[in-house]
C-alpha cells in the first residue's frame, strides 16, 4: 500500500478539499485510489440503510471514483453538546459517550486498532490511499489521544503534506510552529507544505518560501489560489453546513466541482515531487 497524508496547521486549512482533488488527479491517471480519515467529528453524514460515515469521506470517494464504504471513515463522532457525542464505529452506531470517557478509555483501548483494521482492508483493494488528518497535529494537550494525525502517519510510513490557509493570516508562523511542537520522530514525516487560498501576486510570497526552507529545510509544493468551490461544507469555525440529498443530481454536481477543483490543484502543485514522495 502506498500512502500520502494531508495534515493542516488548523481546522479549515483545506485538508478535505485537497484530499478530494488528489484522489481525482490520481484516479484520472488510472491509479486505483481511495481516501481515508480514521476519525471525523461531524453532524453531516453520508447515510445508507446499512451504515453511516462522514460526508467528507463520501465526497472524497466520489473524487476517487471508489466505492463508499465504512472503512473510509471507521470512527464518526456526532456531537450532541455538553461534551457528549454519539460514536459510530465502522458505520454502525456504538454508543453515546462523554469526551472524557472517549479519550481516556476508548481511544487508548479500541480507537487506533479499529482505524488500522479499516486501513489494512483498504490496503488489499487499492494502490494508493490518501489519508486526511484532523485539526492540527500540534495540539500538545491532546497528542497522546490523537489517532488521526501523526500516529496514523507513523504506522503507515506516510509522507505528510502540511497545508495552511493563508487567507486567515499567520501561515508562515503556523507552519514553523506546528513543526516545532511535533516530536522529532514525527517532524521527519513532514516533507513539505501547501499554501491554500492565496489572493494576489505569487511573487510577493516567494521570498517567504526561501526563508521558510532555510528554517525548516522543507519546500513549498505549491500555492492554491482562492477560488469558489461549491462542495458541501463540514462543521467548522465560521461555516454553517447544509444537509444534502444523496441523489444522482447532487452527486453529479459534486463530481463536476471535484473536476474543477482537481484541475486547479493540478496546475498549482508540483505533482511530480509529490508523486516521488509516494513512490
pLDDT given at position 125: 96
pLDDT given at position 233: 76
- C-alpha dihedral sign at 181, 183, 188, 190: negative
Q: Write the DSSP symbol of residue 169.
A: S
Q: At the fourth CATH level, which superfamily is domain 2-278?
A: P-loop containing nucleotide triphosphate hydrolases (3.40.50.300)
Report d(CA 98, CA 103) in Å as an integer: 9
- C-alpha dihedral sign at 81, 75, 187, 262: negative
Mean pLDDT by 10 residues, the chain (279 residues): 95 95 98 98 93 97 98 97 96 96 91 96 97 95 92 96 95 97 97 96 94 98 93 66 87 96 97 96
Q: Write the DSSP symbol of residue 166.
A: G
Contact present, 220 and 195 (Cβ < 8 Å) = yes
Report d(CA 274, CA 279) in Å as an integer: 9
pLDDT given at position 229: 85
Q: Please name which of 168, 229, 223 lies closest in space to residue 201, comparing C-alpha atoms.
A: 223
Q: Is 183 exposed, middle or buried (0-12, 13-18, 19+ CB in 10 A)?
A: exposed
Euclidean distance between the first and final Cα of the chain, in Å?
A: 10
Cβ neighbours around 89 below 10 Å, total: 17
Predicted TM-score (pTM) of the model is: 0.96
pLDDT given at position 235: 59
166 CA to centre of own chain: 17
Amino acid at each position: 500500500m502506498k500512502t500520502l497524508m494531508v495534515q493542516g496547521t488548523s481546522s479549515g486549512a483545506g485538508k478535505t478539499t485537497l484530499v478530494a482533488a488528489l484522489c481525482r488527479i490520481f484516479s484520472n491517471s488510472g491509479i486505483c485510489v481511495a481516501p481515508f480519515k480514521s476519525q471525523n467529528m461531524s453532524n453531516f453524514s453520508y447515510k445508507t440503510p446499512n451504515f453511516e460515515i462522514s460526508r467528507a469521506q463520501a465526497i472524497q470517494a466520489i473524487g476517487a471514483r471508489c466505492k463508499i464504504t465504512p472503512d473510509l471513515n471507521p470512527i464518526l463522532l456526532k456531537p450532541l453538546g455538553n461534551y457528549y457525542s454519539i460514536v459510530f464505529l465502522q458505520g454502525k452506531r456504538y454508543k453515546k459517550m462523554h469526551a472524557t470517557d472517549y479519550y481516556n478509555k476508548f481511544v487508548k483501548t479500541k480507537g487506533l486498532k479499529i482505524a488500522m483494521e479499516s486501513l489494512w482492508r483498504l490496503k488489499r483493494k487499492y494502490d494508493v490511499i490518501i489519508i486526511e488528518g484532523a485539526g492540527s497535529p500540534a495540539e500538545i494537550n491532546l497528542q497522546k489521544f490523537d489517532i488521526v494525525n501523526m500516529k496514523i502517519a507513523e504506522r503507515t510510513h506516510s509522507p505528510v503534506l502540511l497545508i495552511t490557509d493563508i487567507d486567515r493570516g499567520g501561515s508562515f508562523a503556523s507552519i514553523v510552529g506546528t513543526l516545532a511542537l511535533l516530536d522529532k520522530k514525527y517532524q521527519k514525516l513532514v516533507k513539505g507544505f501547501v499554501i491554500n487560498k492565496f489572493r494576489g501576486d505569487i511573487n510577493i510570497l516567494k521570498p517567504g518560501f526561501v526563508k521558510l526552507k532555510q528554517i525548516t529545510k522543507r519546500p513549498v509544493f505549491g500555492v492554491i489560489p482562492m477560488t469558489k468551490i461549491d462542495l458541501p461544507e463540514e462543521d467548522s469555525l465560521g461555516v454553517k453546513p447544509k444537509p444534502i440529498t444523496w441523489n444522482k443530481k447532487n452527486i453529479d454536481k459534486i463530481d463536476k466541482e471535484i473536476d474543477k477543483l482537481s484541475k486547479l490543484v493540478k496546475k498549482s502543485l508540483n505533482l511530480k515531487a509529490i508523486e516521488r514522495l509516494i513512490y
